[in-house]
Structure 1
Amino acid sequence: MTLPTYLLKLMGSRVLAALAVLTGVLQIIDLLEVTTQILDRNLGAGGVAYYAMLRAPRLIEQAAPLAVLAGCLFAFGKLAGESAVTALRSTGISAYRITLMALPAVLALALVQLAIGMVIAPRTDQMLSAWWQASAPQDASKKITPVTFRLANEVVVALPRDPDGRSLESVIIYRRDQAGRLVERTTAPTAVWEAGRWTLIKPRFETLGIKTVSQGSANTMDWTQDLQPADVRAMAAGQTLVTPQEASRALAGGLSMRPRTYYETQLQRAWAAPFACIVMLLLAAPASMANFRGGGATLLVQCLAGGLLFLVFDGAFTALGENGAAPAILAAWAAPAMFSALGITALIYLEG
């Protein structure tokens, strides 16, 4: 077995083991919160299994960076404990090359995380949302509250009473000009989804002029194609997770319920999140230089602390970007860039 193959096998096995453990822990915590609700809906053990299967992609996506950190620390710690790195360095193989040999295993997981975030998880989220709402017990006394959202230059208030998301009630549409001034208010008792677009039933209009207000009405009126029934179901369920596709639609004038900066940050985060796996590798790489006879365990703790600190900074920068306090590109990429530089600097210093 060649050295690159051995390192790749060692790194891959440790990272996959850490990923399985972390995903399992997250899955157990998640199921503890919802198992009672699933059983109350008479879905049985099959319902619990189905829920766990649909939640698994999101949990894998969340666990991937920590799995890389833990797996790399175990792998590099094993090499350091066996003095394998010292032997390799004596033959002219540097710590940089050892890190590069471990990179393919981490890069593979980063690509899997990207595929999950971009393709797989958005679909399983929709399937889970539809299944959860379809199995919800009907409660006639439950009060349905209006939802407020934006579509391009319109602010809409409506009641999402239909569980299929194909109709809205008590619709009020406030249309604004480019400067954000109100120019028209449209009210309709019902809006229905037909033939790929929404139609307002018996709408009434109030158009604001400079000094006048013009009124009008119609039996039906075409409204928009930017709002999908799935969007209505998500709003009715109070779903807060935004996929990259939904963020792109919101920025292009589609459904939005948050500031524009939120969707810009989420779109940047979708691409930056998988890079966290590579950052974790760079932060864990100095552990390969640990000398356990001279207190090398401290270096492993420092590498672990660096990885956890990266997650804290990454979350803080993301929150700043979502609230508009920092540019979206800075909010998404600042922490990965800073901590990548930190890991590389530590490795250069230890390599001498």
Structure 2
Amino acid sequence: MRLQRYVLTVVATRILGAAVILMSILQILDLLEVTTDILDRGLGMGGVLYYAALRAPRLVEQIAPISVLAGGLFAFSQLARESAVIAMRAAGISAYRIVAMAAPAALAVMLLDFACAQVIAPRTDPILNAWWQATTPAADRKAEGPRSFRVGDDLVIAGASTPDGRALTAVKIYRRDKTSRLIERIEASSATLGAKGWELRDPVTARFTGERTDTVSASQMTWTSPLRPVDVQALFSDNPAPSAGSARRALLNGGTDRPASYYETRLLGAFAGPFGALIMLLLSAPVALANFRSSQGAVLLTTGLASGLIFLVADGLLSALGESGAISPLLAVWGGPVIFGALAITALVSLEG
């Protein structure tokens, strides 16, 4: 038990140290771009800290895997240099068990990554966007411009939305039959979410039957739609990052402005992404078996670092291909972790043998 606590402590502290350093660097770089704007708006240091706090979940999501890689390389190289690994193996403890002792640290990072990406960030992103728009000087505000998206079989164009996503302006709804032929167009000055659906104000409905067009006006009507405020916020966001929940709603006829492959990849990636931390731990593990009295230590350190960076690039490339529909979303999401995990395990087995 003491040995397991020692190995876990060494790995966890190195991962934490790497995370703090990487988080600080990313936070500083991010603040360098916006601090001047925040101060010019008269928000002071309180505004800077508020922005940094709301941005933190997305930054944690970015640094999680690379922190495990860097921390794992430092920890395992330290254990190897101090001959701790040699002593453990002489006592009958295999390299696989040493990795298992360090695994809880990677699992903790996985849980933190998932919580930030799927629970915390989807709540802080709309708050940050609303705060940023509300504090932007009137002279610097840019018109949102109309956004087009699909809700089920309906095609929708909306001019703008409120920050809470509960109201739309200049709404046009195009309805089609099963053959995708236009059969109805509804134009309304605004749409507000109510108890029974979206309440359209001053709607004008045009129904198309062959070459005939019938127009009907009303003061109000209800548009029953699965569209929700969180979907509207994502559709009108400058940098949308769908969570598993929003991607699932999009696939179930929620508001979408991208192909189904994009949301399928995002949905699968929400659960596969945190496993990147575990893959990074496996890629760094062979360093524990390195002989630092020769060049093997430097070679394995360099190989582990390069493999981790290549994994990040390959995983991002596969995800982009999956989002565009070029390859299967399942292959796009799990291809990188499976391939690099297998390579890491093969290297560990070879060195252990």
Task: Report the TM-score, using the length of structure 1 for normalisation.
Answer: 0.94
Question: Corresponding residue for 1:26?
Answer: 26
Question: Which has the higher mean CA deviation after the structures are superposed, 274-283 or 138-147?
Answer: 138-147
Question: Corresponding residue for 2:55?
Answer: 55
- Residue 14 of structure 1, CA deviation: 0.4
Deviations 1:271-322 (A, max 9, x none): 0111001100111110111111110211110011111110011001100110
- Residue 103 of structure 1, CA deviation: 0.6
In structure 1, the residue corresponding to 2:340 is in which secondary structure?
Answer: helix
Question: Corresponding residue for 2:190?
Answer: 190
CA distance in 2, matches of 1:245, 1:143: 29
CA distance in 2, matches of 1:16, 1:163: 36
In structure 2, the CA distance between the partners of 1:132 and 1:226, relative to structure 1 (3 Å rule), is: farther
The question of 1:41 aligning with 2:46 is answered no
CA distance in 1, matches of 2:289, 2:5: 20
CA distance in 1, matches of 2:340, 2:272: 13
Question: Which has the higher mean CA deviation after the structures are superposed, 198-207 or 30-39?
Answer: 198-207
CA distance in 2, matches of 1:15, 1:303: 15
Deviations 1:14-54 (A, max 9, x none): 00111111111111111111111211221110000011011
CA distance in 2, matches of 1:22, 1:102: 21
Question: Corresponding residue for 2:104?
Answer: 104
CA distance in 1, matches of 2:144, 2:91: 71
In structure 2, the CA distance between the partners of 1:194 and 1:350, relative to structure 1 (3 Å rule), is: same
CA distance in 2, matches of 1:198, 1:341: 50
Question: Which has the higher mean CA deviation after the structures are superposed, 83-92 or 304-313?
Answer: 83-92
In structure 2, the residue corresponding to 1:183 is in which secondary structure?
Answer: strand
In structure 2, the residue corresponding to 1:208 is in which secondary structure?
Answer: strand
In structure 2, runs of 5+ residues without a counterpart are none
In structure 2, the CA distance between the partners of 1:44 and 1:286, relative to structure 1 (3 Å rule), is: same
CA distance in 2, matches of 1:321, 1:177: 30
Question: Corresponding residue for 2:321?
Answer: 320
Question: Corresponding residue for 2:351?
Answer: 350
In structure 2, the CA distance between the partners of 1:177 and 1:204, relative to structure 1 (3 Å rule), is: same
CA distance in 2, matches of 1:267, 1:232: 18
In structure 2, the CA distance between the partners of 1:63 and 1:325, relative to structure 1 (3 Å rule), is: same
The question of 1:270 aligning with 2:278 is answered no
CA distance in 1, matches of 2:129, 2:88: 52
* Alpha carbons 2:235, 2:256 under 8 Å: kept: no
- Residue 260 of structure 1, CA deviation: 1.0
* Alpha carbons 2:171, 2:191 under 8 Å: kept: yes
Deviations 1:130-158 (A, max 9, x none): 22222222249844411111111111112
Deviations 1:214-260 (A, max 9, x none): 33222211014533445445544423222222111111111111111
CA distance in 2, matches of 1:324, 1:64: 27
RMSD over aligned Cα atoms: 1.9
The question of 1:159 aligning with 2:159 is answered yes
* Alpha carbons 2:204, 2:218 under 8 Å: kept: yes
In structure 2, the CA distance between the partners of 1:140 and 1:104, relative to structure 1 (3 Å rule), is: closer
> 1:63-74 alignment to 2 at 5 Å?
63-74=63-74
In structure 1, runs of 5+ residues without a counterpart are none
Question: Which has the higher mean CA deviation after the structures are superposed, 64-73 or 320-329?
Answer: 320-329
CA distance in 1, matches of 2:11, 2:178: 55
In structure 2, the residue corresponding to 1:294 is in which secondary structure?
Answer: coil
In structure 2, the CA distance between the partners of 1:153 and 1:128, relative to structure 1 (3 Å rule), is: same
The question of 1:333 aligning with 2:334 is answered yes
In structure 2, the CA distance between the partners of 1:196 and 1:6, relative to structure 1 (3 Å rule), is: farther
CA distance in 1, matches of 2:14, 2:218: 66
Q: Which amino acid aligns with 2:9?
A: K
CA distance in 1, matches of 2:29, 2:308: 22
CA distance in 1, matches of 2:144, 2:289: 60
Question: Which has the higher mean CA deviation after the structures are superposed, 177-186 or 143-152?
Answer: 177-186
In structure 1, the residue corresponding to 2:293 is in which secondary structure?
Answer: helix
Deviations 1:88-124 (A, max 9, x none): 2222211111111111111111112112222112111
* Alpha carbons 1:196, 1:225 under 8 Å: kept: no
In structure 2, the residue corresponding to 1:343 is in which secondary structure?
Answer: helix
Question: Corresponding residue for 2:306?
Answer: 305
* Alpha carbons 1:133, 1:237 under 8 Å: kept: no
> 1:278-293 alignment to 2 at 5 Å?
278-293=278-293
Question: Corresponding residue for 2:4?
Answer: 4
In structure 2, the CA distance between the partners of 1:256 and 1:147, relative to structure 1 (3 Å rule), is: same
Question: Which has the higher mean CA deviation after the structures are superposed, 139-148 or 120-129?
Answer: 139-148
Provide the aligned length of Structure 1 versus Structure 2.
352
In structure 2, the CA distance between the partners of 1:163 and 1:182, relative to structure 1 (3 Å rule), is: same
* Alpha carbons 2:234, 2:241 under 8 Å: kept: no
Q: Which amino acid aligns with 2:325?
A: G
In structure 2, the CA distance between the partners of 1:309 and 1:216, relative to structure 1 (3 Å rule), is: same
* Alpha carbons 1:15, 1:70 under 8 Å: kept: yes
Work out the percentage of aligned pairs sharing the same amino acid.
51
Task: Report the TM-score, using the length of structure 2 for normalisation.
Answer: 0.94
Question: Corresponding residue for 1:207?
Answer: 207
Deviations 1:145-193 (A, max 9, x none): 1111111111111211655544333221111233433222212233233
